[in-house]
């Protein structure tokens, strides 16, 4: 680990701990009504390409996490070039001890995110941003510490840890696309961009539903000795603190007539949450509310593109 890595690790952890200190505020945020509309003013003055590039940053992150989990290595060099500041990936390794079917499932998600990167890059052409610096090891440790899970967390250690690692990302991706969809211009809609965004959003939600189902089913089978559902909910609480509420924790059903909590949605109307770009940035930067946050956690050098610094 070089000095820069050490510095970033320190920054990430400090940022996450700031977030943890605001957990009291989370309970207030969770009480806020969210009827599926965006409650915080949407980012204004952004172009459709800015929105797609914002999404591309997130897809780079997901692709690197899931590709490493599947194979031990990340995106091909042909899939990471572009405008802005190119960065490297810190951490990531193949998940240990998987059954054949578990491996096939990890392969499916990895393929999904790799192809989403390729799709967005194709749609953006020469406007596509480069992959920024991504941290998928220290970020998880800082997150685990801030969430109260422990001093460190290795999402590549085994299947259950991988599920929690996946949980960190998938619900956020869904809310990010929900928030971005209404920002797309009329011309962009006519050009098919909303269609594409919804196509990616659906797949993110399929994965989110699948991951939450895996964890819930494992918890039902494992009972009180299965800690990972609790870890996932600690992550959810932290995300709520950082990202404006918009969270539905998992539950452990005890009978066929008690509802599970697979879907993350507003409990009053079952409409999925939408997050503003600022709320998403606060989550991936691991830093609680406020303007001017420009890096941290999963993106130690910040995102590339116009939407990279929080405005609130």
Partner 1 sequence: MANQETKVVDNIIASRRSLLVGGGAALAALALAKPASAAASVTSYTDNDILNFALNLEYLEANFYYLAAFGTTIDKANAASMAAGGPSAGIPITGTGTAGTVTVKANPKVPFKTVTVGSYATETAIEEGKHVLFLQSVLGSYGVAQPAIDLENSFNTLANAAGIAPTFDPFAADADFLIGAYIFEDVGVSAYHGAAPLISTTSSGKTILAAAVGIHAVEAYHAGLVRNSILALDPTGSLGLLGYTQKISATRSTLALQAPQSPANPLDPTPDDYGVSDGVFTVSLAGGANVPRTNVVDATTDYVLGFARSTTEVLNIVTGGGATTAGTPAKGVFFPSGLNGLFV
Give 165's contacts (C-beta < 8 A, 6+ positions apart): 65, 69, 140, 155, 156
Measured CA angle at 137 (ends 291, 212), to 5 deg: 80
Please state the length of the chain.
312
**What does 69-106 look like in DSSP terms, one character per residue?**
HHHS----GGGS--BS----EE---PPSS--HHHHHHH
* Nearest distance from C-beta of residue 202 to partner 1, angstroms: 3
What's the closest the beta carbon of residue 189 comes to partner 1, in angstroms? 5
Closer CB to partner 1, 21 or 72, in the complex:
72
- Expressed in percent and rounded to 5, the helix, strand and coil fractions of the chain are 55, 5, 40
Shortest Å distance, C-beta 150 to partner 1: 28
Query: Residue 112 or residue 241: which is nearer to partner 1 going by CB?
Result: 112
Query: Is the CB of 16 or the CB of 66 nearer to partner 1?
Result: 66
The minimum distance between CB 244 and partner 1, in angstroms, equals 15
Q: Which is nearer to partner 1, 105 or 285 (CB)?
A: 105
Q: Rounded to the nearest whole angstrom, what is the least distance from the CB of residue 160 to partner 1 in the complex?
A: 15
Give the residue with the Cβ less far from partner 1, 2 or 122.
Answer: 122
Count CA atoms within 13 Å of residue 72 on its CB side.
2
Which of 32, 35, 55 has the alpha carbon at shortest distance from 43? 55
- Cβ–Cβ < 8 Å for 97, 162: no
Within 13 Å and on the Cβ side, how many CA atoms surround 32? 20
Q: Give the nearest distance from C-beta 3 to partner 1 in angstroms.
A: 29
How far apart CA 131 and CA 166 sit, in angstroms, is 20
Residue nearer to partner 1 on the CB measure, 2 or 257: 257
């Amino acid at each position: 680990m070089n000095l820069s890595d050490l510095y970033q690790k320190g920054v990430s952890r400090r940022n996450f701990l700031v977030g943890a200190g605001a957990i009291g505020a989370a309970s207030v945020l969770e009480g806020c009504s969210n009827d599926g509309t965006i409650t915080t003013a949407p980012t204004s003055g952004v172009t459709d390409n800015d929105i797609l590039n914002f999404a591309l940053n997130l897809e780079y992150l997901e692709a690197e996490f899931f590709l490493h989990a599947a194979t031990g290595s990340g995106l091909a060099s042909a899939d990471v070039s572009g405008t802005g500041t190119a960065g490297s990936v810190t951490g990531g390794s193949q998940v240990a001890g998987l059954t054949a079917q578990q491996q096939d499932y990890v392969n499916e998600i990895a393929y999904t995110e790799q192809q989403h990167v390729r799709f967005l890059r194709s749609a953006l052409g020469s406007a596509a941003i480069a992959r920024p610096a991504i941290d998928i090891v220290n970020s998880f440790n800082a997150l685990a510490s801030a969430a109260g899970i422990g001093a460190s967390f290795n999402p590549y250690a085994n299947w259950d840890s991988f599920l929690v690692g996946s949980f960190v990302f998938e619900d956020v991706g869904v809310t990010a696309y929900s928030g971005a969809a209404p920002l797309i211009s009329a011309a962009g809609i006519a050009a098919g961009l909303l269609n594409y965004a919804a196509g990616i959003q659906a797949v993110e939600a399929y994965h989110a539903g699948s991951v939450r189902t895996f964890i819930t089913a494992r918890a039902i089978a494992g009972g009180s000795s299965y800690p990972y559902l609790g870890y996932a909910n600690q992550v959810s609480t932290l995300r709520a603190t950082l990202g404006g509420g918009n969270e539905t924790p998992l539950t452990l059903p005890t009978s066929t007539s008690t509802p599970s909590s697979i879907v993350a949605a507003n409990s009053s109307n079952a409409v999925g949450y939408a997050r503003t770009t600022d709320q998403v940035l606060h989550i991936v930067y691991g830093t609680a509310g406020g303007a001017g946050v420009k890096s941290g956690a999963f993106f130690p050098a910040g995102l590339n593109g116009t939407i990279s610094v929080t405005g609130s």
